[in-house]
């Protein structure tokens, strides 16, 4: 069964959960070196209080119905800053690849490209799809792949608010 939707179902509820919203914010306050990277350094950049809105999403709900292995989806989301200005897009896809034995959560391989002001950031990982749909916070490794972010590494954290909205952050450092 193939579903194309703007809200609800698995394509947006599960697989669009991996996209990033973005508020482009330069990090202005340094943190102590012992606490982690010096985010006040010109060698780091942070996107905080990120918002994203689903523009389009597709989903394939294979048998058995509901969240299960081989379900897949894709999405394109608008990346919106704290002032309501669109600063980029997030485009990606996910496919459910395994069921974690410890809690029966479906895990999905996710790939995402954020086209932001100044360059692109890419995330690829296996993430907890069941947890994402339930609103859990997910963290994925992030890599700058072009522009001012090229060669930077860090992490993206995101959480589903509703089927159309996600909040997240990205921190990258050289």
Distance (Å, whole) CA 26 – CA 40? 9
| Tens-place pLDDT, residues 4-35 | 232 322 333 333 333 333 222 233 233 333 34
pLDDT of residue 46: 86
Region label for 157, one of left (φ > 0), alpha (ψ between -120 and 50) or beta (otherwise) = beta
Whole-prediction pTM: 0.76
Helix (H, G, I), strand (E, B) or coil at 22: coil
Asked if pLDDT for residue 153 goes beyond 70, the answer is yes
What is the spatial distance between Cα 131 and Cα 89, in angstroms, rounded to a whole number?
A: 24
Query: Which residues contact residue 45 at a Cβ distance below 8 angstroms, ignoring those fewer than 6 apart?
Result: 26, 27, 148, 149, 152, 171, 172, 173
Q: Looking at the domain 2-173, which fold is it?
A: AOC barrel-like (2.40.480)
Quick: pLDDT tens for 78-88: 989 888 988 88
């Amino acid at each position: 069964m193939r579903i194309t939707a703007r809200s609800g179902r698995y394509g947006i509820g599960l697989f669009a959960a991996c996209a990033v919203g973005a508020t482009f914010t330069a990090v202005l306050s340094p943190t102590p070196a012992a606490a982690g990277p010096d985010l006040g350094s010109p060698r780091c950049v942070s996107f905080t209080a990120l918002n994203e809105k689903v523009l389009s999403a597709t989903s394939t709900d294979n048998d058995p119905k509901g969240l299960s292995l081989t379900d897949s989806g894709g999405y394109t989301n608008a990346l919106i800053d704290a002032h309501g200005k669109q600063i980029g897009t997030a485009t990606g896809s996910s496919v459910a690849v395994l069921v974690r034995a410890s809690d029966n959560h479906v895990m999905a391989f996710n790939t995402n490209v954020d086209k932001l002001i100044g360059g692109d950031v890419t995330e690829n990982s296996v993430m907890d799809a069941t947890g994402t749909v339930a609103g859990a916070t997910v963290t994925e490794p992030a890599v700058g792949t072009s522009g001012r972010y090229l060669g930077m590494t860090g992490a993206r954290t995101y959480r589903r608010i509703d089927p159309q909205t996600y909040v997240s952050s990205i921190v990258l450092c050289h």
